[in-house]
A and B are shown apart, each in its own frame.
Chain A
């Protein structure tokens, strides 16, 4: 078999093998069982004491949300102030300027919501201070926010007839001290050994083999690159993200970064099974999500490895696949795998330029973000999937002749209202955003703005449409990758995507948390032979169908005008 393929399969296998014990460990952490990292406990107690957190005080779902949203709001203000003034602050050896107000708005939100859409470039747009104390900091807390929200939902699934769902601050703190921080340290050390910089010096100047003198940006990057993947953040230290040789020096670091970004999303699925003591349920979820990933991955890898027919027609050998926009040290297969992994979970880091992917791959990358729940981001992936479970439970519950129930609680009008609202939100913000930009572009191409709409797109036609669609999809999914080529650092894009980012982040957290909280308080109905089981392959198939039909149905026309039209133009003349 092709060694490139073996590399991809090995990467995935290692991920799963690591995720199972990690899932067990995560379940233990939140169950307050003994773990090897218990020596951190005094540090945590110290944090709780100085923050005045009463660890014994349990919260209901509304209090959890209040806590979550309040600390997020504080971080936004903090990030906004630092980014807006970074030019005149310390730790700025390269003398980079402060951000404009619209870019600050977009960037602060983008890192706050775990998206890391970067309308700036790290080398010139940020300082070491903001890279470390804004971006790096937000990467930890935003990932922890998602995981903590999910653990609250775990509590709601496990405990019967209660509104006490643990203490948010305790869950949040432990997520960082017991999971994110220790793992990040290990990963950062591995990256440093492979050549990723971790220094506070400014640009270095080197002479290339061609004899040119080049200024190379560096900085304390290794730590950020570790958490950017571990926390499914995706924001690169350098503009070129993980295609940059200092962010991702070799095939080993490429494998490491691919493993690490999927690690927590998969581990959380297993943690669910261990934590609520329904292992089969979590295996079914893992199965559905994996099949979902393969649905997107296989066509992508085939398209990338087969190369571009237009180039073949020119008589050029393409045995190494479509290489435009790819790093030779990773190859077509690993780049294809990365592009799907990074879009189905919400990392959004890239090791190749998605703009240069084959049309079918672009379609699959878009679909990955439109679905946004095949593994999905840290914590939030399962929260998104939870909404689809509720809808699947409702329809299939009816099909077996019982009013629908999930884990022993009846699903009624109120829960359906929330679930459908959240399911609606995603197509709404993506399609409406793309519609507004298309409308502006067509009807006001020469509007008197700093960047005229007519100059937004790098490519005309279907591909240009895909660039706009991709940008909103990436924001709504809190992904952060870009179909580069779109001129996105201007008021229109910074502001519209900023709002899409907020909606796409917080409502999908609030919705599942509210449903889980409401269900936890309901009467518990023990299972009988007539109860629809949610831990069977049949129910998994149902969930898969619901996800694919909702995503495919809502986005089909948009995809047809973008990547699908491009695909048919390329292959069927």
Chain B
């Protein structure tokens, strides 16, 4: 699936669906969740009764039938517009999620039925929807993987383009950090045995769809607090409008029900009230469009608050992998012999670093004839790898690891190699020290290549007030060089898995919110500990369960986007609230003189917009109040742009646009509408 941010906001089929939903949502049970719009609905019902009674009794003391009918229609439209905003946001989110889900529905699955220890397991083809957690199925070349799972046996190349849009196939194998497969992707070669890890209907995507559809959508704490504020504004205006009746009685001014309800509906914050849930849904939808599945709306919101960002160096800050650039044999060691040793030690080393060593040497490792080779794999504990054959033990690894090994055997670390190590490190390279039978024979220089543009991204994060931390297995010198070159604020060098966890805990103890991205099983505890944990889709099931978001693109820089989506979400809420409340000033100046002008002609002085008549003034205000909702739907769905210019400057900017603009715009809008309406009323 490719990113579809360019698509129009209002696709035809989505609009049709949303229109239908706008009416379905009129049900009071649904409306009551939104106190502001629920009040409008009650007001509309009252107007309906008034209009019908005028129709029956022909009593014009409440104004003409046409005027009352007009008010009724505008109020009804106000509710429909608000419902439409929510419905279109839902429809877009659903459409996005459905297109992901389509790929995985009802695919045949080759389920394994264990039939005892002696006989071969039986394999039957069932529908993917029949698979439950713990079941085992196999997939062979050409099969679509029926559901999410974990490889327990075998290795396969898989085409994940259906999910990630990335056309290059990936390798997934059992045991490691790349053992997870996603439903809907296709096996290109080989055969794997997979254990199902999710119940049907409970995969991340299913959860996301439910979140968007509203069934399991819960208001986030911030949304609740904002709803309280809006409810308070609504209550204030209930008080204002109810007490206005005895005030008007005192002043001998009859107020029509239509005028009172219009005043009320105009004053309560219908703009933000009508758009609030659409903003929240659109936030999750934007995350989904960035190919990130969020497990809750709160996670997106929290992302906007992040103070500290933990990023793995490899793949995020530097391009994939380091490359060998130089050989530095120790004094007294023959260069050819040194190169031979490095090649031998890298023979079975499939890491890109290992391959780059052989590449640099320019020799075929198979040209050396050796007996009974035994390959030593890299482990996090020994931090070295190598080869044993005959009586030779060659190791290559981090300088302190090899130093330990060598010094334990009674050798002294050669001074010139030590200097080389330091020189390499200070240039930001990684020294890979090589030993032969525990004696240090030289060092290989590996260099990192920093991604272009990454510095600017970190600069942007710094302006947002976010501290970036690079996590790397490199020694502190190397780490420092790269950290400075890339412009990160801090780094964790020679990081072991628990270091990440400790760093997160330390920052959290100081009150910071921490985000991190991870893929491996050993990342799972840290992902769970972090306030925002983004697991890569290619990562292990454990990692995906632990985080609160899953990135389908496996793109480590995605966190930056997620932070911006979170901030946009909050800003959109804040600015539209400000706009909505600021609008009231103009509405007051339209309606209040209109209410009293008949009995207190001097109040013409308050009619600063010079509106045509009391009726046209009231209608213009309610019409403006209604149409501003659909006008702002695109803004609510796209989100107000976030600019990393510092909090005070951003506040100034948004206050000017949405606060000051919110005061001025309705004066113009209401006057323009009045010019049209004034012809009829």
> Which residues of A pack against B, CB within 8 Å?
391, 394-403, 408, 411-413, 415-417, 420-421, 423-424, 427-428, 431-432, 434-436, 438-439, 441-443, 462, 465, 523-526, 528-533, 536, 538-539, 541-542, 545, 549-550, 552-554, 556-558, 560-561, 564-565, 568-569, 571-573
Whether A398 contacts B249 by the Cβ 8 Å rule is no
Mark interface residues in B570-609 (1 if CB within 8 Å of A CB, else 0): 1101110110011011001000110110001011111000
What are the 8 tightest A-B residue pairs by CB atom distance, in nearest-first order?
Answer: A530-B465, A398-B574, A401-B567, A420-B232, A529-B465, A528-B465, A399-B574, A435-B243
> Which residues of B pack against A, CB within 8 Å?
221-222, 224-226, 228-229, 231-232, 235-237, 239-240, 242-251, 267, 301-302, 304-305, 307, 462-467, 510-512, 566-568, 570-571, 573-575, 577-578, 581-582, 584-585, 588, 592-593, 595-596, 600, 602-606, 642, 646-648, 650-652, 654-655, 658-659
Whether A565 contacts B464 by the Cβ 8 Å rule is no
Give the residue name and chain of the B residue nearest to A401 (CB).
Answer: B567
When chains A and B are docked, how far (Å) is the Cα of A396 from the Cα of B244?
A: 31
Whether A398 contacts B651 by the Cβ 8 Å rule is no
Whether B247 contacts A438 by the Cβ 8 Å rule is yes
When chains A and B are docked, how far (Å) is the Cα of A345 from the Cα of B229?
A: 27
Minimum distance in angstroms from A132 CB to a CB of chain B = 41
Residues in A neighbouring B570, C-beta threshold 8 A: 397-398, 401-403
- From A398, A523, A554, give the contact of B511 (CB < 8 A): A523
Looking at chain A's contact residues, is the secondary structure mostly helix, strand, loop, or mixed? Answer: helix
Whether A558 contacts B648 by the Cβ 8 Å rule is no
Known: A529-B646, A542-B651. A398 touches B226 (CB 8 A): yes
Whether B511 contacts A532 by the Cβ 8 Å rule is no
When chains A and B are docked, how far (Å) is the Cα of A389 from the Cα of B146?
A: 55
Whether B606 contacts A560 by the Cβ 8 Å rule is yes
Whether A413 contacts B228 by the Cβ 8 Å rule is yes
Give the residue name and chain of the B residue nearest to A569 (CB).
Answer: B602
Whether B246 contacts A439 by the Cβ 8 Å rule is yes
- From B245, B466, B603, give the contact of A528 (CB < 8 A): B466
When chains A and B are docked, how far (Å) is the Cα of A401 from the Cα of B563?
A: 10
Minimum distance in angstroms from B27 CB to a CB of chain A = 26
Give the residue name and chain of the A residue nearest to B563 (CB).
Answer: A401
Whether B512 contacts A557 by the Cβ 8 Å rule is no
Known: A403-B301, A441-B250, A568-B606. A413 touches B239 (CB 8 A): no
Give the residue name and chain of the A residue nearest to B509 (CB).
Answer: A523
Whether A396 contacts B225 by the Cβ 8 Å rule is no
Minimum distance in angstroms from A463 CB to a CB of chain B = 12
Given A400-B647, A413-B221, A413-B228, 14 other A-B residues pairs in contact with their CB atoms under 8 A:
A395-B577, A399-B578, A400-B651, A415-B225, A417-B228, A424-B236, A431-B240, A431-B243, A443-B249, A530-B307, A538-B651, A549-B585, A553-B584, A561-B248
Residues in A neighbouring B588, C-beta threshold 8 A: 553, 556-557
Whether B582 contacts A549 by the Cβ 8 Å rule is yes
When chains A and B are docked, how far (Å) is the Cα of A427 from the Cα of B267?
A: 15
Give the residue name and chain of the A residue nearest to B510 (CB).
Answer: A526
When chains A and B are docked, how far (Å) is the Cα of A465 from the Cα of B252?
A: 12
Known: A557-B592, A558-B243. A533 touches B648 (CB 8 A): yes
Give the residue name and chain of the B residue nearest to A418 (CB).
Answer: B228
Minimum distance in angstroms from B611 CB to a CB of chain A = 16
Residues in A neighbouring B584, C-beta threshold 8 A: 549, 553
Whether A572 contacts B249 by the Cβ 8 Å rule is no
Minimum distance in angstroms from A565 CB to a CB of chain B = 5
Known: A408-B511, A438-B250. A538 touches B221 (CB 8 A): no
Whether A556 contacts B592 by the Cβ 8 Å rule is yes
Whether A565 contacts B247 by the Cβ 8 Å rule is no
Residues in B neighbouring A400, C-beta threshold 8 A: 571, 574, 647, 650-651, 654
Minimum distance in angstroms from A226 CB to a CB of chain B = 39
When chains A and B are docked, how far (Å) is the Cα of A525 from the Cα of B507?
A: 10
When chains A and B are docked, how far (Å) is the Cα of A568 from the Cα of B606?
A: 8
Minimum distance in angstroms from A323 CB to a CB of chain B = 25
- From A396, A557, A561, A569, give the contact of B240 (CB < 8 A): A557
When chains A and B are docked, how far (Å) is the Cα of A552 from the Cα of B663?
A: 14
- From A396, A525, A550, give the contact of B574 (CB < 8 A): A396
Whether B581 contacts A525 by the Cβ 8 Å rule is no
Whether B654 contacts A399 by the Cβ 8 Å rule is yes
Whether B651 contacts A411 by the Cβ 8 Å rule is no
Whether B236 contacts A531 by the Cβ 8 Å rule is no
Whether B250 contacts A394 by the Cβ 8 Å rule is no
When chains A and B are docked, how far (Å) is the Cα of A557 from the Cα of B588?
A: 8
